[in-house]
Amino acid sequence: MKAEIISVGTELILGDTLNTNSHYISRSLTENGIEVLFHTSVLDNKKLLKDVINIALNRVELLIFTGGLGPTNDDMTKEILSETLDLPLILNSEIEKNIEKYFKGTNRDMPKNNIKQAYLPKNSKYLKNEIGTAPGIYIKHQGKIIILLPGPPQEMKTMLDNYVIPLIKQEDIIKTKTINTVGIGESQLEMLLKDIIENETNVNIATYAKMGKVDIRLVTKGKNEKKIDAELYRVLKNIENRISEYIYSYDNLSIEEAVFNSLKEKNMKIAFCESCTGGLITSKFTKISGASQVLDRGIVTYSDNSKIEELNVNKLLIDKYSSVSEEVALAMAKGLLEKTNVDIALSTTGIAGPTGATENKPIGLVYIGIALKEQSFVVKSIFKGDRNTIQNRASTKAFDELRKILK
């Protein structure tokens, strides 16, 4: 099913209000197997809105409107849609009572113009607004599904989650599965899966690149749930056979959550000492509930002196190789392992930029040291981007190296 999201409101066009509704709806539809093709924003203008409606009716099967359902004269979404579809508006007494009840609950009389919100296009269903006064509207008309939602984000989100998505799912059984990968770029991933993606007819396969990671989303739909599950499993296994070394989760986990789960399963403790990442690795890890079960400590050893004092790194080593080197990264990790007696110690040192580069050491150079009781090693990487991007990519790489060890 192809969809268009239409946001109605002059305030959106003028930039007075940030359109968070489209983002939320688009993500929710995509997660449920609906292909969103267009985002349209339009002024509170009768002619323009009518034009937008006619264009959308000719190019998608699902139209979702937000905004323009209020009681004022410039709230006209329902009225223009009713006129365009030739569906007369009919007063719904149940909605009228709900609106009156809403105002009584706030110790106010219902303004006369709010009665406008109790009218529905003929043959439509109303979606209860549990927060405000404007009900949503669900219309099936000449093979199209048309949904009108209120503009206030919290009202829209509640209605979308509680009513709209379940109604859409009634049209077809929709199943999705996300494969989380790390350590491989989107273009390389698509090359490895090119024939599967191009030849697959029953399951839609799409890749989504993130910071150092790529998600593969599988979507299929139909009337027979067993058949749908079998199709999804078949494609998932085909993909798994090609790229299993890069897969870290099937449950939409973050890479740090996957590492946490592995450490917890193996009853292992970890510690971090960070230079160029400045505590980002520790920060990401401690966002996980229960992180204290496996994390001993995280320290930022930014200066040379801190590396010497906190990690017992030999000053001569820093003088000879500099603090941004394989040798110092290894010494940092080993020093932390000895100091804490954890199972794994991880260090980072590098040049996040925009300053600090030398002829032999460019911006983006990062060394990740990992020390265990039985082995120690260093991974060298060069990342592109600004300071924030380099730090984030370095943290993702660090967690990926831990993932490989813990497999």
pLDDT in tens, 280-322: 999 999 999 999 999 999 999 999 999 999 999 999 999 999 9
Mean pLDDT over 228-241 rounds to: 96
Q: What's this model's pTM, rounded to 2 decimal places?
A: 0.77
Is the pLDDT confidence value at 1 over 90? no
Q: Which long-range contacts (CB under 8 A, 24 or more apart) does 380-386 make?
A: 380/326, 386/353, 386/354
Q: Which of 39, 37, 47 is nearest to 66 (CA)?
A: 39
Query: How many alpha carbons fall within 13 Å on the CB side of residue 128?
Result: 6
- Residue length of the chain: 407
Residue 405 is encoded by which pair of tokens?
């060890």
- DSSP label at residue 15: T
Give me the pLDDT at residue 306, please: 98
Verify cis geometry, omega within 30 degrees of 0, for the bond prior to 152. Answer: no
> Between β-strands 295-300 and 270-274, what pairing exists: parallel, antiparallel or unpaired?
parallel
Report the SS3 class of residue 130: coil
Confidence of residue 67 (pLDDT cuts 50, 70, 90): very high
Is the pLDDT confidence value at 326 over 90? yes
Per the listing, tokens 């223009």 go with 80
| Domains and their CATH numbers in the chain | 2-171 (3.40.980.10), 173-249 (3.30.70.2860), 255-406 (3.90.950.20)
- DSSP label at residue 322: -
Radius of gyration of the chain from its Cα atoms, rounded to whole angstroms: 28
Give me the pLDDT at residue 237, please: 97
Give me the pLDDT at residue 24, please: 97
Query: What does the pLDDT look like over 9-32, one tens digit per residue?
Result: 999 999 999 999 999 999 999 888
Provide φ and ψ at 70, rounded to 5°: -75, -175
Least confident of 19-33, 255-269, 380-394: 19-33
Instruction: Indicate the residue type of 166.
Output: P
Give me the pLDDT at residue 223, please: 87
Instruction: Indicate the residue type of 230.
Output: A
Distance CA 334, CA 375 (A): 10
Mean pLDDT over 161-183 rounds to: 92
Is the pLDDT confidence value at 195 over 90? yes
Query: What does the pLDDT look like over 342-361, one tens digit per residue?
Result: 999 999 999 999 999 999 99
Helix axes 304-311 and 326-340, enclosed angle (nearest 10): 40
Distance CA 95, CA 317 (A): 76
Percent with pLDDT over 70 in the chain: 100
Mean pLDDT over 144-162 rounds to: 97
Distance CA 95, CA 133 (A): 9
Query: How many alpha carbons fall within 13 Å on the CB side of residue 347?
Result: 32
Q: In angstroms, what CA-CA distances link 394 with 30, 129, 274, 332?
A: 29, 45, 11, 16
Give me the pLDDT at residue 234, please: 97
Per the listing, tokens 């268009």 go with 4
Provide φ and ψ at 87, rounded to 5°: -120, 105
142 Cβ contact list (under 8 Å, min separation 6): none
Distance CA 236, CA 232 (A): 6
Helix axes 77-85 and 46-57, enclosed angle (nearest 10): 50
Q: What value does the mean pLDDT of the chain take?
A: 96
Query: How many alpha carbons fall within 13 Å on the CB side of residue 166?
Result: 6
Give me the pLDDT at residue 276, please: 98
Give me the pLDDT at residue 349, please: 99
Is the pLDDT confidence value at 173 over 90? no
